Amino acid sequence: MPQLNENFLKLEKNYLFINIAKKIKAYSDANPDADIIRMGIGDVTQPIAQCVIDAMKKGADEMAVKETFKGYEDSGAGYDFLKEAVSGYYSSFGVEIKPDEIRINDGAKCDCGNIVDIFGNDNVVLITDPAYPVYVDTNLMNGRRVIYADSNEQNSFAAMPDESVHADLIYLCSPNNPTGSVYTKDQLKEWISYAKKNNAIIIYDCAYEAFITEEDIPRSIFAVEGSRECAIEMCSLSKTAGFTGMRCGYTVIPDELTAKASDGSEVSISQLWGRRQGSKFNGVSYPVQCAAAAVFSEEGLKQTSENIKYYQQNAKVIASALDEMGIKYTGGKNSPYIWFKCPNNMSSWDFFDKLLSEANVVGTPGSGFGKNGEGWFRLTAFGDSERTKEAMERFKALKF
Ligand code: PLP
């Protein structure tokens, strides 16, 4: 009989969004005429830019011609044309990353989850709370000790390091899911200095960097001095360019990043990750990589930014409704997420139920992202603009 990895049995039984889907289903089965507006799951709704789709079609056509047909990609780390396009994108905001420091993947979630493979199970893992559930779950699956840095109302949901606590791996996400908060350059400097003191590695998730509107907020941890020796960065085209159904992202591991093995030898993190990927990953489809490269072309960036502006406008609608109601929130400005305090000190799930049953609006209970999320709630700006306006009118009409 196979032995189970019983760490899985210690996880929450269902991923947060499965619990939400069950509640919505139960409600709509009981109220089939309810006009439900979904502002819960962080999925995009606007179609992909035409020039990106044209590039994918061209890539697909090449697969039908003997001379241009592509089978397995040599390295599985992405075609040079895409790595060069990503590197060029970094240059456009002043960060120099070599194409070979970039590995293309089928979305950031996989790398966020799989990166744990190359680190030992005795590491102490520091995760800001609340957090994107993948960081916690994938470490618990391997039986690692997870400690938390509190993001709360006092620090505007931007947790900072506690010098008295040691960590080996640190997860940071900016712009943050779920709180929409962002780290400034000075705050990232503190994290980098903490990481260096602890010989730790920062896993930096910037899946929402395209939503940053303030000039002085870094779009990459590599915009901050000293990060190349202590950070891995993960990014995605899912929210930047509507790729949630296409699947493409990228991970950056600088050449300088090393860690000591138990025999004292210096090991390149990039080589170790490359070795892991070589055994377990066979690359992203050619047409999707063609589409991804088109996102970073002049026309691609122009067309894609229209969708981002559309979502940013929704974020403004949500934020101004909350302002009107006098409800405290973070996010919205550099992020598609708005994170607010549940009115009347309600618990996150009580507020979820009230919003669903009395306004037919779905959001995400903050407690699903960690203990500091209790009493808070997330709405996303990824919906249709008219429906977002309608949802906020219904919210404003709620009686507490
Ligand atoms: N990182 C964060 C913070 C996210 O919120 C998400 C998706 O919602 C991802 C990574 C994963 O993105 P994908 O796997 O679609 O690239």
For residue 302, what are its two tokens? 């122009």
Summarised one tens digit per residue, pLDDT across range 81-105 is 999 999 999 999 999 999 999 999 9
Ligand 1, residue 109: give the atom nearest the CA: 14
**Is 109 touching ligand 1 by the criterion CB < 6 Å?**
yes
The DSSP symbol for 48 reads P
Q: Where does the pLDDT of residue 238 fall: very low under 50, low under 70, confident under 90, or very high at 90 and above?
A: very high
Q: What is the pLDDT of residue 19?
A: 87
Give the residue among 331, 249, 338 at the shortest CA–CA distance from 291. Answer: 249
Q: What is the pLDDT of residue 316?
A: 97
> Distance between CA 98 and CA 86 in Å, rounded?
9
**Is 202 touching ligand 1 by the criterion CB < 6 Å?**
no
Ligand 1, residue 249: give the atom nearest the CA: 16
Q: What would the mean pLDDT of 333-358 be, rounded to a whole number?
A: 97
CB of 143 closer than 8 Å to CB of 7: yes
Summarised one tens digit per residue, pLDDT across range 219-233 is 999 999 999 999 999
Q: What is the pLDDT of residue 395?
A: 98
Give per-residue burial for 246-274: e unless 16+ CB within 10 Å, then b: bbbbbbbbbeebbbeeeeeeeeebbebbb
CA 289–ligand 1 middle distance (angstroms): 18
Which of 86, 111, 177, 251, when mutated, tests ligand 1's pocket best, judged by the most ligand atoms within 8 Å of its CB?
177
Question: ∠ CA 238-242-246 to the nearest 5 degrees?
Answer: 70
> Distance between CA 330 and CA 53 in Å, rounded?
34
**Is 221 touching ligand 1 by the criterion CB < 6 Å?**
no
**Is 177 touching ligand 1 by the criterion CB < 6 Å?**
yes
Q: How far apart are the first and last CA of the chain?
A: 55
Q: What is the pLDDT of residue 313?
A: 97
Neighbouring CB atoms inside 10 A of 311's CB total 23
The protein residue whose alpha carbon is closest to atom 2 in ligand 1 is 207
Q: Which is it for the CA torsion 77, 80, 82, 87, positive or negative?
A: positive
The protein residue whose alpha carbon is closest to atom 11 in ligand 1 is 109
Summarised one tens digit per residue, pLDDT across range 189-212 is 999 999 999 999 999 999 999 999
Residue partners of 35: CB distance under 8 A and separation at least 6: 360
CB of 135 closer than 8 Å to CB of 172: no
Q: What is the pLDDT of residue 12?
A: 82
**Is 179 touching ligand 1 by the criterion CB < 6 Å?**
no
CB of 377 closer than 8 Å to CB of 342: yes
Summarised one tens digit per residue, pLDDT across range 102-156 is 999 999 999 999 999 999 999 999 999 999 999 999 999 999 999 999 999 999 9
Q: Where does the pLDDT of residue 33 fall: very low under 50, low under 70, confident under 90, or very high at 90 and above?
A: very high
Q: What is the pLDDT of residue 109?
A: 97
E strands of the chain, at which residues?
Answer: 37-38, 102-105, 124-129, 145-150, 169-173, 201-205, 231-236, 249-252, 258-260, 266-268, 329-331, 337-341, 361-362, 364-365, 376-380
CA 237–ligand 1 middle distance (angstroms): 9
Ligand 1, residue 112: give the atom nearest the CA: 10
Does residue 13 carry a pLDDT above 80?
no
Question: SS3 of 235, please?
Answer: strand
Q: What is the pLDDT of residue 15?
A: 75
CA 172–ligand 1 middle distance (angstroms): 13
Does residue 14 carry a pLDDT above 80?
no
CA 241–ligand 1 middle distance (angstroms): 13
Give the residue among 248, 242, 291 at the shortest CA–CA distance from 59. Answer: 291
Ligand 1, residue 244: give the atom nearest the CA: 15
Give the side-chain half-sphere CA count within 13 A for 335: 26
**Is 206 touching ligand 1 by the criterion CB < 6 Å?**
no
Q: Where does the pLDDT of residue 252 fall: very low under 50, low under 70, confident under 90, or very high at 90 and above?
A: very high
Summarised one tens digit per residue, pLDDT across range 38-56 is 999 889 999 999 999 999 9
Does residue 16 carry a pLDDT above 90?
no
**Is 238 touching ligand 1 by the criterion CB < 6 Å?**
yes
Q: Where does the pLDDT of residue 356 fall: very low under 50, low under 70, confident under 90, or very high at 90 and above?
A: very high
